[in-house]
């Protein structure tokens, strides 16, 4: 058995979470609320550290240009004061505009040009043939402006549907794999770190 | 025998099957072989191609919830980098990622490497994709102080490699956003190699970036972490969990089959009008 107080607390709280499998109970609810509280507290500390490092420290060294982001940040709180709600829109517009611009800067090349180039490979293997058939099938499936009446369109539609089903199956199986991995991590903690049953 | 009853298995039986199916192989390993995927070999090769003194950026974009899958990946990459005398700049775009970066720093420091020269932990940077863009452009400007409170610009490693153009590989390890999409978008303007570590459920969405040449390889969950541990010849938590993973999958396959048998039995009974 571990002699670490932190490990014991972690193990007891973990068991508390799993008691939900039996039914919802006060122990589970306590752990759930404690987790949310701790998470919020941790995020608050990280946020505070960020403000100190990125705003207060440079300001205290005389870098007055940092007053602009600080002022914009403070304006976000305007929504809590009657008559000043409009002030929150300015920093929000700034954040949305900046975020969109930064994302768009790389997305044309990364998400369109390079992905289209990668799909235009020569058909020299079974993989590339399957990619071609799958891509065309899925694109045909989403051609909503064309009536799916002739055999060609119906076949392409079917290929697209099968391709997507295979993709959903792979994603679902990956999801199961993820859950099992996470459960393995929990068991390694409980039966390894805590009670030393796993060597 | 009424096969439709297979569709109404008591959930507690399923919980018990899954619990013991996973726990028993953890206590008494079965010794299933670990198959190393091509993606893992690609990531291993990318790190292996680095020269002593080169630098990797490792980004810890995951929380405690995803650590069972992701931390073994970061550990394996750090151990390989350590063996190659490669330096590491750690950063976190998830607030809970910082303690995991600290563990990588501990691996380096306990091996005799110097904090600040061979490895740094720059802590948490807010802003997700915007933060990534600022960080790649100038490490010290984006993160004025590291996780220990030291001035980032004064750290020798950051002085020598202060932006993405001066590092040789970027590895992002995450369970959500920012993920490979955000990293690929922001790295598009740099000529640095990129490797991603993701959860198994995120992997299908990350593979197209490998095919397009935007990413050298994707490490998917615990299974690829185990493969990585095999390549670096350092069995760790992922390798130990592989038998349990296989058994968990077998239990799941059996349950899916039973569910389908019940479904077909019910359907045939309906057709017969029973």
Q: What is the pLDDT of residues A12-49, one digit of tens each?
A: 999 999 999 988 999 999 999 999 999 899 889 988 88
ipTM of this complex: 0.81
B223: which chain A residues are within 8 Å (Cβ-Cβ)?
A: 177, 181
pTM of the model: 0.84
- What DSSP line would sit under chain B, residue for residue? --GGGGGG--HHHHHHHHHHHHHHHHHS---PPPPPPHHHHHHHHHHHTPPTT-EEEEEEE--GGGHHHHHHHHHHHHHHHHHTT-EEEEEESSGGGHHHHHHHHHHHHHTTPPBTTTEEEEEE--SHHHHHHHHHH-HHHH-SB-TTS-BGGGSHHHHH--SGGG-SEEEEEESSSS-HHHHHHHHTTS--EEEEEE-TTTHHHHHHHHHTTS-SEEEEHHHHHHHHHHHTT---HHHHHHHHHHHHHHHHHHHHHHHHHHHHHHHHHHHHT-
- A50, A110, A191 ranked by CB distance to B23: nearest: A191
Using the Cβ of A120 and the Cβ atoms of chain B, whether some distance falls under 8 Å is answered with: no
Q: Per the CB < 8 Å rule, is A107 touching B185?
A: yes
Residue to substitute from A181, A188, A197, interface B, most B β-carbons within 10 A:
A181
Given a cut of 90, whether residue A150 has pLDDT beyond it is no
pLDDT for the residue numbered B95: 86
A118: which chain B residues are within 8 Å (Cβ-Cβ)?
A: 208, 211-213
pLDDT for the residue numbered A109: 80
For tokens 């992701």, name the residue: B70
Each residue's pLDDT, cut to its tens digit, for chain B (274 residues) gives: 677 888 888 999 999 999 999 999 999 988 888 889 999 999 999 999 999 999 999 999 998 888 889 999 999 999 999 999 999 999 999 988 999 999 999 999 999 999 999 999 999 998 889 999 999 999 999 998 899 989 999 999 999 999 999 999 999 999 988 889 999 999 988 989 999 999 988 888 898 899 888 999 999 999 999 999 999 999 888 888 889 999 999 999 999 999 999 999 888 888 887 6
Using the Cβ of A117 and the Cβ atoms of chain B, whether some distance falls under 8 Å is answered with: yes
Phi/psi at B174 (5° precision) = -150, 165
Distance between B45 CA and the closest CA of chain A, angstroms: 22
Using the Cβ of A54 and the Cβ atoms of chain B, whether some distance falls under 8 Å is answered with: yes
Computed over every residue of chain A, the mean pLDDT equals: 89
């Amino acid at each position: 058995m571990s002699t670490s107080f932190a490990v014991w607390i972690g193990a007891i709280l973990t068991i508390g979470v799993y008691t939900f499998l039996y039914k919802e109970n006060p122990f589970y609810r306590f752990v759930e609320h404690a987790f949310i509280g701790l998470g919020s507290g941790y995020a608050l500390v990280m946020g505070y550290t960020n403000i100190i490092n990125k705003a207060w420290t440079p300001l205290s060294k005389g870098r007055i240009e940092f007053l602009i982001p600080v002022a914009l940040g403070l304006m976000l709180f305007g929504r809590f004061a009657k008559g000043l709600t409009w002030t929150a829109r300015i920093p929000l517009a700034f954040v949305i505009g900046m975020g969109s611009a930064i994302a768009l800067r790389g997305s044309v090349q990364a998400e369109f040009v390079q992905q289209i180039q990668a799909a235009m490979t020569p058909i020299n293997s079974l993989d590339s043939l399957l990619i071609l058939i799958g891509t065309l099938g899925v694109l045909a499936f989403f051609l909503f402006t064309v009536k799916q009446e002739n055999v060609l369109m119906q076949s392409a539609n079917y290929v697209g549907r099968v391709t997507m089903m295979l993709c959903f199956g792979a994603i679902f199986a990956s999801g199961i794999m993820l859950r099992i991995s996470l459960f393995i991590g929990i068991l390694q903690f409980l039966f390894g770190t805590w009670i030393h049953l796993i060597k | 025998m009424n096969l439709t009853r297979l569709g109404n298995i008591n959930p507690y039986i399923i919980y018990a099957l899954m619990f013991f199916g996973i726990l028993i192989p953890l206590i008494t390993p079965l010794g299933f072989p670990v198959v190393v995927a091509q993606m893992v070999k690609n990531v291993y090769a990318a790190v292996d191609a680095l020269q002593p003194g080169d630098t990797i950026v490792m980004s810890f974009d995951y929380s405690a919830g995803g650590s069972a899958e992701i931390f073994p990946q970061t550990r394996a990459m750090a151990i390989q980098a350590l063996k190659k005398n490669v330096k590491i700049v750690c950063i976190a775009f998830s607030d809970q990622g910082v303690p995991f970066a600290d563990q990588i720093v501990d691996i380096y420091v306990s091996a005799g490497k110097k904090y600040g020269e061979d490895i740094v932990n720059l802590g948490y940077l807010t802003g997700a994709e915007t933060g990534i863009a600022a960080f790649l452009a100038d490490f010290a400007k984006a993160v004025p102080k590291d996780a220990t409170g030291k001035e980032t610009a004064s750290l020798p490693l950051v002085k020598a490699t202060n932006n993405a153009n001066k590092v040789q590989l970027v590895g992002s390890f995450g369970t959500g956003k920012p993920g490979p999409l955000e990293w690929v978008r922001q790295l598009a303007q740099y000529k640095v190699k990129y490797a991603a570590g993701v959860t198994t459920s995120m992997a299908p969405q990350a593979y197209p970036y490998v095919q397009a040449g935007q990413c050298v390889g994707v490490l998917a969950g615990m299974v690829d972490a185990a493969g990585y541990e095999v390549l670096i010849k350092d069995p760790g938590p992922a390798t130990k969990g592989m038998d349990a993973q296989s058994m968990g999958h077998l239990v799941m396959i059996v349950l899916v089959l039973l569910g389908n048998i019940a479904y077909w039995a019910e359907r045939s009974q309906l057709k017969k009008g029973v």
